Amino acid sequence: MCGIIGVIGTSYAAQEVYQGLLLLQHRGQDSAGILSYDFHRKTYHQHKDLGQVSQVFDLKTLERLEGQMSLGHTRYSTVGGSQIKDVQPLVVGYPFGLGIVHNGNLVNFYQLREKLSQQSKRHIFSNNDLEALLNLMAAGLIESKNEALSFDDITHAVSKIYDAALGGYSVLVSIADHGLLAFRDPNGIRPLVWGEKELSEAEKKQSGSSKAYCFSSESNALNFLGYKLNRDLKPGEVVFISKTGQVFQKVLNQQTTANCMFEYIYFATPESTMETKNVYQVRLQMGQALAEQIEPLIASGEITPDVIVPVPETSRVSAISLSEKLGIPYREVLIKNRYIQRSFILNTPESRKRAVQLKLTPVASEIKGKKILLVDDSIVRGTTSKRIIEMVRDAGAKEVYIATTCPPIRHPCFYGIDFPNPEELVAYKKTEEEIAANQKADRVVYMSLDGLLKSIGKKDLCLACITGKYPVDISAGESFSKKREKDRTEEKL
Ligand code: SF4
């Protein structure tokens, strides 16, 4: 999972992208990068590195990123590891001069890499599947026989990607001297929104456009930067903004809509709106839906919680509405050290375990002797939740229950979330009782699938990690997982 943002039409494009990246930081913390293009001087500028946005950029670097078009990326590695060669944006000189960022994952990356090498004599240098997309894009644009690049040429190149690339992906491409391109995978698995704003008279003169446009993984960045949200890109839709501000759009290849449900549960920030659903509202609904499942357990005496405790940060909103509906006090007694990275995002079980110990401290005086109902967004590998349950018990809790706003995750994700190996999933081939035993919890309550769908308020979702029904062919998935692990191991050697 990553955060992407692209801006065109303002002389402060890279500065806006930088601010947008700060707001998308929760989507990945491995690396950050910005590419800018100056239409007047016909030059690209770039800066990228490993680390968080505020570590990678300073005022001096930002001032160098001149231009009226810019792309930015904050990375969470799913393919490849955390090496500088994998850091986005990626660029290629021919044709035109292309810069590219993406959020997502190609299930058939390794097959594509092989094919590009064998059939097109194109070498992929990085372990980043984006480089395959960039090469497909470049090859598609080269096929054009037109003198001037047209929108038809662009859609021709994107259709080549749609034909070849299997997975979930949202992509932004800067085309030197031409404009900014955005497209979303044919199932709309990964998110992408766009918006526009009128420029001030002074800015109009400076940039030569009357409007600026912004594409982003989430609407929070648009709101902050003063862009009016137009809408989410449709699955399989291509939008191109030319350097003069002309807007071209076309739905090229729309399959079944399958937006990732995990965005609502975990990844998106609550102030964002995705597919017209406000994430904060969805999480409030999730708390209510969980309450409906928990009420009968309390009525029958199976669980008797004294307090409801959110596992910070994501589950807070749901825990509040759960507490309101059940009439049980809400207490924030797990105190987060805000300077530690989100543990789910760290790549090995050892580093995740250490991170849990560092990042949460229990308020023992409020926990001692009580029956605690923990609320978490999801239990994926179970490493984090198990440690938290242990920590709450060590602080003197009488009983510990855990409720999650996500149904059991029993299947791998091949579309951009880092849980591709089923054996790593705590719910894999286990009943809820077995999971509770594994977690050393007195009871585990999972959100039902119906409750989840009701809370999100839409059905055209990807639910594959819950149901095992994949919207996009994953036959290349097993070899993908093995190869990915091999790449990561080799990088560590
Ligand atoms: S498999 Fe799960 S995490 Fe992956 S895209 Fe689908 S819903 Fe999202």
Is-catalytic flag, 2? yes
Query: Ligand 1, closest atom to CA 461?
Result: 7
CA-proximal residue: ligand 1, atom 2 (nearest): 465
Q: What mean pLDDT do residues 453-465 have? A: 97
Instruction: Check pLDDT > 80 for residue 296.
Output: yes
Instruction: Check pLDDT > 80 for residue 488.
Output: no
Going from the Cα of 96 to the center of ligand 1, the distance in angstroms, rounded, reads 35
pLDDT reported for residue 470? 95
Q: What mean pLDDT do residues 287-315 have? A: 97
Nearest to 88 by CA among 42, 114, 137, 53: 53
Query: Ligand 1, closest atom to CA 414?
Result: 4
Going from the Cα of 193 to the center of ligand 1, the distance in angstroms, rounded, reads 19
Q: What mean pLDDT do residues 157-179 have? A: 97
**Cα distances (angstroms) measured from residue 363 to each of 43, 45, 370:** 55, 49, 12
pLDDT reported for residue 485? 66
Q: What whole-number percentage of the chain has pLDDT above 70? A: 92
- Residue 261 pLDDT class (50, 70, 90 cuts): very high
Contacts of 299 (CB under 8 A, 6+ apart): none
Both tokens of 16, joined, read 């806006």
Residue-wise pLDDT tens digits, 215-253:
999 999 999 999 999 999 999 999 999 999 999 999 998
Q: Distance between CA atoms of 224 and 244, rounded to whole angstroms? A: 24
- Residue 114 pLDDT class (50, 70, 90 cuts): very high
Residue-wise pLDDT tens digits, 127-166:
889 999 999 999 999 988 777 899 999 999 999 999 999 9
Is residue 484 within 8 Å of 79, Cβ to Cβ? yes
Is residue 52 within 8 Å of 82, Cβ to Cβ? no
- Residue 493 pLDDT class (50, 70, 90 cuts): very low
Residue-wise pLDDT tens digits, 394-414:
999 999 999 999 999 999 999
Is residue 161 within 8 Å of 140, Cβ to Cβ? yes
pLDDT reported for residue 209? 80
Q: What mean pLDDT do residues 338-354 have? A: 59
Q: Which residues have any ligand 1 atom within 6 Å of their CB?
A: 168, 189, 260-262, 413, 415, 417, 462-465
Q: What mean pLDDT do residues 17-21 have? A: 98
Instruction: Check pLDDT > 70 for residue 350.
Output: no
Q: Distance between CA atoms of 426 and 435, rounded to whole angstroms? A: 7
- Containing 295, the helix (H) or strand (E) segment is helix 279-299
Both tokens of 300, joined, read 């029958």
Terminal-residue alpha carbon distance, the chain = 25
Residue-wise pLDDT tens digits, 283-293:
999 999 999 99
Mutate to test the pocket of ligand 1, among 2, 76, 106, 189 (most ligand atoms within 8 A of CB): 189
Q: pTM of the prediction?
A: 0.93
pLDDT reported for residue 126? 87
Q: What whole-number percentage of the chain has pLDDT above 90? A: 78
pLDDT reported for residue 274? 97
Is residue 135 helix, strand or coil? Answer: helix
Rounded to 10 degrees, what is the CA torsion of 387, 264, 27, 346?
20
Q: Distance between CA atoms of 201 and 208, rounded to whole angstroms? A: 10
Both tokens of 340, joined, read 């530690």
- Residue 189's identity, in one-letter code, is I
Between 384 and 23, the more confident residue is 23
Both tokens of 177, joined, read 């001297």
Please report how many Cα atoms fall inside a 13 Å half-sphere around the Cα of residue 39, on the Cβ side: 23
Instruction: Check pLDDT > 90 for residue 420.
Output: no
Is residue 219 within 8 Å of 256, Cβ to Cβ? no
Q: Distance between CA atoms of 468 and 464, rounded to whole angstroms? A: 5
- Residue 274's identity, in one-letter code, is M
Is residue 405 within 8 Å of 386, Cβ to Cβ? no
- Containing 6, the helix (H) or strand (E) segment is strand 3-8
Query: Ligand 1, closest atom to CA 471?
Result: 6
Q: What mean pLDDT do residues 375-401 have? A: 95
Q: Distance between CA atoms of 237 and 169, rounded to whole angstroms? A: 12
Token look-up 């026989």 returns: 145
Domains belonging to the chain, first-starting first, are 3-258 (3.60.20.10), 274-468 (3.40.50.2020)
Please report how many Cα atoms fall inside a 13 Å half-sphere around the Cα of residue 170, on the Cβ side: 26
pLDDT reported for residue 341? 58
Least confident of 24-38, 138-152, 219-233, 367-381: 138-152
Least confident of 74-78, 138-142, 358-362, 467-471: 74-78
Average pLDDT, the chain: 92
Going from the Cα of 425 to the center of ligand 1, the distance in angstroms, rounded, reads 14
